[in-house]
Structure 1
Amino acid sequence: MSSITSLYLAHLFIKNIFSKHGLPSSIVSDRGSLFVSSFWTNLCQQLKISRDLSTAYHPETDGQTERVNQILEQYLWMYVSYHQDDWNTWLPLAEFAYNNSDHSSTKQSPFFTVYGRDPHFDSAHITKDTPAGKLSTKIQSVQQDVKRELEVAINRFKRYADKSRASPPVFNPGDMVWLSSKNIKSTRPTKKLSERWLGPFPILKKVSTHAYHLKLPSQWKSIHPVFHISLLEPVKTSTIPNRHQEPPPPIIIEEEEEWEVSQILDSKLKRGKLWYLVEWKGFSQDPERSTWEPTKNLKNCPELVKDFHSLYPDKPGPNSSKA
């Protein structure tokens, strides 16, 4: 999906959804750039389609979506292990098998829910020694494989869900939490526990029993600030005196690294260009890590630039004469 445009997404919607089922009353999706784009938003408004967007990195907008996604993920991984060489060719049959399987909540298959009948699939009269018969036999074999793997995936998910039904932790506004970095790209190639968590960040408000709104750095504008509770850990006060906190790793936002600015220390004009001496968050005890940056690199922290010039009005600024 990352290489298509919002317009192409609309064409896919017309071809695969609207032409076969008509307009839905609502669409449940994640917060991918396509689904929050102005074009897609306006299109849904024009067609009277409600957009139900999930919290960041955890599609639990309606609960059922999250369960189905986990089942399908396990199911497809196991399916691929059986058909590694040509799995994409037979993926439509995997979809067919899923849609033709009864669901525990409705006690009927998605096919029956939509069309009021089960699809016809009779393999009793296949002639196996013809090209058409070989293809039919292959279809039957794939159907048996995916049906078996789907049952395994559903049972595995049910066991996992039963074990994970403990009460989730509760956070209050102002509480400090660590944010899991597993869904946020970082360039630091390490698996150390201390670097798998970002922050800490304060809780602004509780959105639901399983989602919280965090106060994120101003540079992280492209990251939705509401996160599922499974991605959060409470900050525990260290009992070790003078313990050094590992600096946060750089964040990849729109394919570029972003370090969080702690404060502006100085400014200067160099060859007619304005530069700022920047102290980076996590490196306040290491002055050698401060760097001179051009104005364009500080476009995501205008408040800090403004604060600097309020404290030091005589320092070179945006309105200073060129050197």
Structure 2
Amino acid sequence: MKTTNRHMLRWQIAIQEYRGNRTMIYKEGKSHTNADGLRRWPLDNVKSNPAYDPEVAAKIPIHLMEIDRKKNFRFSEWEPESCTLESGNTDSEGTETPILVISSSELHTEFFSAVLKSYVKHKQCGILLQLLQQKYRSPDLESQLEEPGLRAYKDNKFLLIDGLLYHRERYTSALTVVDRDHISLILQECHDYPYMGHMSEDRTKERVASTAWWPKWEQELGEYINTCERCQKANRKHGKKYGLLQHIEEPKHPWETINMYWVTGLFPGGKENYNSCLIIVDRFSKSMRCLPCRKEETSMDTALLFWNNIISTCQVPRIIISDRDPKFTSEFWANLYDRLGTKLAFSTAYHPQTDGLAERMIQTMEDILRRFWAYGMEYKDHEGYTHDWVTLLPAVQLAYNISQHSTTGKTPAVVEKGWNPLFPVDHLKKNLLTIHPTAKDFHDMWTRACETAARCIAEAKEYNKQRWDKTHMEPDFKEGDQELVSTLNFSDLRGPKKMRDSFVGPFTIIRLIGKNAVEVKLTEEFSRKHPVFP
């Protein structure tokens, strides 16, 4: 060889220690039919082997032993065995060379003994053992094999080593197990234990494939991981969320359907030390009312506040969409609206999207107030007067109601009343030519504004549904099912939030509430929680 590359040079250095004991003889490629022996499956030196050499068979007793890679073993020169190996063109016929063997003292011999016993009780394994022990094919025995064992046998994927069946796939071989207890043990060893980490199906499949084999093992592995209790509770849910967007019956007139929501935790303000705010939104005109109140007020106080500010100035709404506040669930509140002919439509617990309109109004209100409260709990105007959030609420309400809404394309004041209130800046337009419409023209204009608002609301509703449904799917829950519940709705669980399980349960579904919520039977540990979940 004239030149040597780095690959050959490394091998030359590696075999230096064998100099004097071995002689390497070059063999031409056309006569070297069994080249690359280290990467090929070992074949016994028997007569059925095309490369059978009787001289080698007489001198070298070959014993193969597969070792479960999951068990602990060690390499040692424990009582080295000796055998005669040909050394090429040497003076002596052979030399006595110690062979490095693998000590099996650490292996679980009881497990392999149990596997051997399970073969005796299994009919298909018994047939395979007979076929592999014979030196010729037996059509009668092969006809008794079932799939997938028959296909694997015809593809020469089974090996018989020390009485144990091994299934080989490309460059790996795995012990064949048939007993259900052994299969369960393999699955637990490859998935459940801390050093395996409860990994995903693909990662666990790689471990099982190199350890054990049994018919339909991939399907059983998938079922095992999908039903793993720890994985279901600890893993986070990915993909589409449950619950398609459900349409709320849209109103046809102002103040026919309203949203109500309480904003709590505010800094005490005003002469009455208000610490909460009741947000009321008309779903048709998008008009908003901001009513300061106290968190400690009873349902009677809330009813009086609603009567003085909504019923007396607007009308009695037909549908009220609200959160599950105790004020609304009290017997007095329900009876009051039953006499008024109002249908209470509570939003689903832990599902604020039902009350999304009020939620968005709250964000807008807080944004406006925050601009004036940037440096304290009070705001001082350019004339030196001090204002807190209570005195600013009417201005916030007016500013919102005269601003164009993205859904209707008009201001809430125009849709509700047909005109916008005048402000000092509007008096600058007094010299402009104005046309005063007649009563009929005004009625037509208001009617067109309402029709436009209704059409825009319907279009916006359909657009929102299409966007929502792209990332959600329809749930397939049924009464009596056992389901896990997300821990996002549980704030009193022990331990740090990042280390908590993603789900708790399972709980039994008692009844379905609409299409996107269920009522479950909670255990005693969570008996104080509201039993309705999305």
TM-score w.r.t. the length of structure 1 is 0.50
If you compute each CA radius of gyration, which structure gives the higher value, 1 or 2? 2
